[in-house]
Structure 1
């Protein structure tokens, strides 16, 4: 039977004199409220996640000081926000007792509640030391870097997990963190974000997980299926072998994440798990979704994802990839509201917002980074918002019209947005005097049929007054999310023949508002 999580209360504050005595500095800035302004996903359920809101705020620059702040509270549920700066190591992290009990060599949040740990100033780095949450509730971890945590070799910490949760954990929000290693299990590293043995109502948002053999898991074995209700959104998963994440039982909501260079497998749904996978961008990777390394299958519901240069293994006894024809195998109901960015812009907006020391920037729901109005007031360096390095586009299409029947004339059309006075249907009416235009400089327009139709060429025709406006684009099989072609400029686009019900022309760049007069499609 699951135990009820510790009761959360916003009453009471840590004693300032005790804080000073134990070597942490009490300050008046209420960073707890600032940190909780953007809580999202499953962490909003079960009463919500507020962390240390309403309590004292103290600063700490060693692991021992973090433990002292936790255990000097009047009780193990007295709210507190701990602002962390500098580098935390195994060497400066000692065991402390008081209202709680901790352990040396690991940041331990054990049998406590109502805590926020937030990086401030020039940043907080947990170097070769992991964060362990056990039998606890209402925790926020924000704006920190955790790197190179080992389970073997020297030093070791937290079983090799950067952030690990286990044994009746409820309501945790991990946001704008960077979790990274320098190799896989053979080099002594384990998971970057592991949840096991009854963990629920967790959100991981706007974070980077990279350079490790294992991204993370929910459930430590095929029999550990009691965890779930976890949200992963606007995270960057880069250069990982597997587990992005591995799911055993329970429900996970996975949306608007950017995946690149997943070397062996990606989202691994096993042992009855149910994953809702929406508007993610998968690039240059292998087996990004499915059931792998077991015959105990999980399921998934998919919508709006883009699969760019993805390879898929053949099905076998313990290998069940979702692709290349990715379709839903279950239906998942999500209990909270959320806004989806279009998958095509996810790599860009995630590159600008995810990770520590990015100014806590988030997407405004239209693929544009924005800074929340309430953020910790301790200033850090001015955040930069770099654009990702663009990929080299294929040559501009030719302008020679293909022969044969224009299949669009008998099809339907829709799109992501439309400018005032324009219509989706204008791109398939055979007239160059009418057109569709997005509401901004980028957007998508689609042609769709009631049954599978074979297409191998399209012809994008601009109006005479807007010639040359279209810049970078992607042509997408909207049935599967596979990228059929990339390039720049309007004209004829040839690609390997595909049987599909819907094809999308996604404009990723334009000199000004583009005007697509005709989106013609041809079998050959």
Structure 2
């Protein structure tokens, strides 16, 4: 029986992976060696996870216009969709397409106001030539196995503000994997950045990718007043011949591990304006000022471990120059809420060289490049919290949800976010599918230490797993299974979110009660 197209593509990529692994001697896993290798890692696994267009229709596109048509032909802007791309996508074959489920443009690939989309290069490869990919006001997006090159903000032609991949304005849950992003110079030559995240972009993972030959690698936050973007993971990437911003972090939290940095010419990981970054098991080579706060006196923070600094030079401390070296030490701690496996830094150059970038068969490290490679690390408990299970005793006192506001990730037809705070067990909210999130919010900071999630009488037991999240910071306050009463350390916040991460059917939440 003939296999579905997506399966045939993955099988071909797996064959390429095995041949390359045999040639390099590096221990690798192909995309079909383990189900886990085809899943997002890092912060993209949080906030409900990132699955892209999984389960939706698969279409083939060989032009930018066809990509836009595929987006516009969906039933609505959230209908799952996998777009397989082959060939060169450029200004000559990309035009605006109109429709109720899309908002496209002539001069870039526009993923605006959409969700549940996978864009993946197949066959002989996908190259976006002088044409950037723009993600705006969107969620649950996967971009894999594509090359984006020579996108300019000045000169001709221009695209996407000069960013190879740019995300801005309320974007969350994006996985960018096995891509090659490259320029041919810096700002003076008309280029801007390779990978920029701005204006409340959250829960993003960049993995097994190449960023090279650019003045600017990428940033999180476009200015010192834009500190709303956060929760970004960078792992197993190659940064090569980059002047600075590898990346630049303004506020928020980031995790960078098992990356290979070569020829960072001016500065590397630039943590500033209160940003926190965990930097572990990276290999820095032939570079300058690879970590610190640079070009400002608004300091950031870092936790370091297991990194190798090979021919790295450091500048002197100054009023706007605060290098972490020559002997980098931690000045904070960063809790990571997901499991991950570290390769020892000594083998990172070989592993990353063999796996990172487009047209590498989606190969990944299996973590066995050294006998000392640790196994998967247990998921740490975020600071100030502990996983908890529902308690049989309902909280007492005033229900703070009465009179508050509410919102959520989605709502099924006939249900309302406000039903969870009306004190009526006969009304309820349901997500559009088996998982989703519902929030209670206040106009001023409110202290909360207990909640009670009350399902409708006919659906008790439908919710199988959940998380309680501080909606202001993204910190997980508690997690567990089965709806009911939950306690956690008292926290002052404006918004608290209940994320349903697993369910045996469609949940019906009658009340989301909150207590001091």
CA distance in 2, matches of 1:263, 1:335: 33
Q: Do structure 1's residue 247 and structure 2's residue 244 form an aligned pair?
A: no
Kindly report the root-mean-square deviation, in angstroms, between the aligned alpha carbons of the 2 structures: 1.8
* Cα shift at 1:197: 0.2
Q: Do structure 1's residue 219 and structure 2's residue 214 form an aligned pair?
A: no
Partner of 1:333: 335
C-alpha contact 1:28 1:56 (8 A) present in aligned 2: no
Q: Do structure 1's residue 87 and structure 2's residue 88 form an aligned pair?
A: yes
C-alpha contact 2:343 2:373 (8 A) present in aligned 1: no
CA distance in 1, matches of 2:247, 2:329: 19
* Cα shift at 1:91: 1.5
CA distance in 1, matches of 2:281, 2:53: 32
Alignment of 1:354-393 (within 5 A): 354-367=356-369
C-alpha contact 2:344 2:373 (8 A) present in aligned 1: no
Partner of 2:272: 270
SS in 1 for 2:349: helix
* Cα shift at 1:38: 2.6
Unaligned runs of 5+ in 2: 11-30, 375-516
Deviations 1:224-256 (CA, angstroms, capped at 9, x unpaired):
000010000000000000000000000000000
CA distance in 2, matches of 1:366, 1:201: 28
Deviations 1:384-425 (CA, angstroms, capped at 9, x unpaired):
xxxxxxxxxxxxxxxxxxxxxxxxxxxxxxx9489xxxxxxx
Partner of 1:293: 295
CA distance in 2, matches of 1:366, 1:158: 40
CA distance in 2, matches of 1:237, 1:417: 23
2:239 pairs, out of 219, 222, 237, with 237
* Cα shift at 1:287: 0.2
* Cα shift at 1:39: 1.0
Partner of 1:457: none
Q: Do structure 1's residue 189 and structure 2's residue 191 form an aligned pair?
A: yes
Deviations 1:484-503 (CA, angstroms, capped at 9, x unpaired):
xxxxxxxxxxxxxxxxxxxx
Deviations 1:466-515 (CA, angstroms, capped at 9, x unpaired):
xxxxxxxxxxxxxxxxxxxxxxxxxxxxxxxxxxxxxxxxxxxxxxxxxx
Partner of 1:163: 165
Alignment of 1:64-213 (within 5 A): 64-98=65-99, 99-213=101-215
Moved over 2 A (4+): 27-38, 415-418
C-alpha contact 2:342 2:373 (8 A) present in aligned 1: no
Partner of 2:54: 53
* Cα shift at 1:306: 0.3
CA distance in 1, matches of 2:222, 2:331: 24
SS in 1 for 2:333: coil
Deviations 1:203-237 (CA, angstroms, capped at 9, x unpaired):
00000000000000000000100001000000000
- Number of equivalenced pairs: 346
Greater Cα shift, 356-365 or 96-105: 96-105
CA distance in 1, matches of 2:275, 2:72: 37
C-alpha contact 2:40 2:50 (8 A) present in aligned 1: yes
* Cα shift at 1:101: 1.4
CA distance in 1, matches of 2:367, 2:6: 29
TM-score by structure 1 length? 0.65
CA distance in 1, matches of 2:354, 2:308: 19
* Cα shift at 1:28: 5.4
CA distance in 1, matches of 2:327, 2:287: 16
SS in 2 for 1:91: helix
Unaligned runs of 5+ in 1: 1-26, 369-414, 419-524
Partner of 1:318: 320
C-alpha contact 1:91 1:105 (8 A) present in aligned 2: no
SS in 1 for 2:267: coil
Partner of 2:38: 37
CA distance in 2, matches of 1:134, 1:152: 21
* Cα shift at 1:29: 3.6
Greater Cα shift, 249-258 or 27-36: 27-36
Q: Which has the greater radius of gyration?
A: 1
* Cα shift at 1:148: 0.1
CA distance in 2, matches of 1:308, 1:87: 37
